[in-house]
């Protein structure tokens, strides 16, 4: 994963609540076996609507999404994160996120910047007053600046540290392999194993 410190880019106002991961990318686009190429499916149901925000020239190069509450609820598909990244988004700002989506974002390197909903409203108004305006998201300082605003955002310490360092989670865990071995040695015998396979008679 690439380390992340600061990102500056065009902010895109997505004035909708409850944008679930089926809206971010519908199931029919999930059939690829790679991590790339999912930009085609991003917000697929809305992309044919000329009014849709990403179809407006000022926002077409957007890389910071300012989303409504409960963004990324629903399915666990990490494809939703990949679709946003494949399209060019590096940050999503919002007030509330689906837990699994937020977790997946942290693993894949998409920054989830949490602010209160009234800050989202301020950002929406400021962006819409100046379409195409750029914001800067500073992960070190946990600060969003631009469009005449300067607002702090929340992100948990551990995710922030991993993103700043660009660390691979599996590598971090394997540093503690001895702890895993020790834990495994003490698991009760009655716990189920899937192998050898048993089946109903």
Partner 1 sequence: MGKTLSEKIWDAHVVREGSAPGEPDLLYIDLHLVHEVTSPQAFDGLRQAGRPVRRPDLTLATEDHNTPTLNIDQPIADPVSRTQVDTLRRNAEEFGVRLHSLGDLDQGVVHIIGPQLGVTQPGMTVVCGDSHTSTHGAFGAIAFGIGTSEVEHVLATQTLPQARPKTMAVNVRGALPEGVTAKDLVLALITKVGTGGGQGHIVEYRGEAIENLSMEGRMTICNMSIEWGAKAGMIAPDQTTFDYLEGRPHAPQGDDWDAAVAYWKTLRTDDDATFDVEVDLDAAALTPFVTWGTNPGQGVELGGVVPDPASFADATEQTAARNALAYMGIEAGQRMADITVDTVFLGSCTNGRIEDLRAAAKIIEGRKVAESVRMLVVPGSARVRLQAEAEGLDKVFLAAGAEWRAAGCSMCLGMNPDQLAPGERSASTSNRNFEGRQGKGGRTHLVSPPVAAATAVTGHLTAPADLA
Which of 57, 118, 185, 188 contacts partner 1 by CB under 8 A?
A: 188
Whether 127 and 147 have beta carbons less than 8 Å apart is answered as yes
Cα three-residue angle 9-123-152, rounded to 5 degrees: 80
| Residue selected from 50, 51, 118, 193 as contacting partner 1 according to rule CB under 8 A | 193
Give whole-number Cα distances, 95 to 29, 41, 81, 126, in Å. 27, 24, 17, 17
Rounded Cα distance between 37 and 151, Å, is: 33
Which residues 118-177 are close enough to bind partner 1 by CB under 8 A?
156-158, 161, 169-170, 172-174, 176-177
From 53-61, 63-71, 125-133, 144-152, span contacting partner 1 (CB under 8 A):
63-71
User: Of 52, 55, 107, 124, which one interacts with partner 1 (CB under 8 A)?
Assistant: 107
How many CB atoms are closer than 10 A to CB 160? 17
Binding-site member from 5, 35, 37, 150 for partner 1 (CB under 8 A)? 35
Phi and psi for 117 in degrees, rounded to 5?
A: -65, -30
Q: Which of 7, 8, 20, 133 binds partner 1 (CB under 8 A)?
A: 20
Q: What is the largest CA-CA distance in the chain?
A: 70
The least distance separating partner 1 from the CB of residue 74, rounded to whole angstroms, comes to 6
Given candidates 7, 8, 18, 133, which one binds partner 1 under the rule CB under 8 A? 18
Residue from 13, 63, 78, 90 that binds partner 1 (CB under 8 A)?
A: 78
98 contacts 68 by C-beta, under 8 angstroms: no
Comparing CB distances to partner 1, the nearer of 9 and 75 is 75
Contact status: 104 vs partner 1 (CB under 8 A) = yes
Handedness of CA 31, 36, 38, 42 (dihedral sign): positive
Cα 40–Cα 46–Cα 50 angle in degrees, nearest 5: 105
Binding site for partner 1 (CB under 8 A): 15-18, 20, 22-23, 26-28, 30-35, 44-45, 68-70, 73-79, 81, 96-100, 103-104, 107-108, 117, 156-158, 161, 169-170, 172-174, 176-177, 179-180, 183-184, 187-195, 197-200
């Amino acid at each position: 994963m690439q380390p992340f410190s600061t990102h500056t880019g065009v902010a895109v106002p997505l004035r909708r609540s409850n944008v679930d991961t089926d809206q971010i990318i519908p199931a029919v686009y999930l059939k690829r076996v790679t991590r790339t190429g999912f930009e085609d499916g991003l917000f697929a149901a809305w992309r044919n609507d000329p009014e849709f925000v990403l179809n407006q020239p000022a926002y077409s190069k957007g890389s910071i999404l300012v989303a409504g509450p409960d963004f990324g609820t629903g399915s666990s598909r990490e494809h939703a994160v990949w679709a946003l990244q494949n399209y060019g988004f590096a940050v999503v700002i919002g007030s509330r996120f689906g837990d699994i989506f937020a977790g997946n974002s942290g693993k894949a390197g998409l920054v989830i910047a949490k602010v209160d909903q009234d800050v989202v409203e301020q950002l929406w108004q400021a962006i819409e007053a100046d379409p195409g305006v750029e914001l800067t998201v500073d992960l070190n300082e946990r600060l969003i600046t631009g469009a005449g605003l300067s607002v702090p955002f929340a992100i948990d310490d551990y995710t922030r540290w991993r993103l700043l360092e660009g660390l691979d989670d599996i590598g971090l865990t394997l540093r503690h392999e001895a702890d895993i071995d020790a834990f495994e040695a003490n698991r009760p015998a009655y716990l189920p194993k899937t192998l050898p396979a048993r089946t109903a008679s």
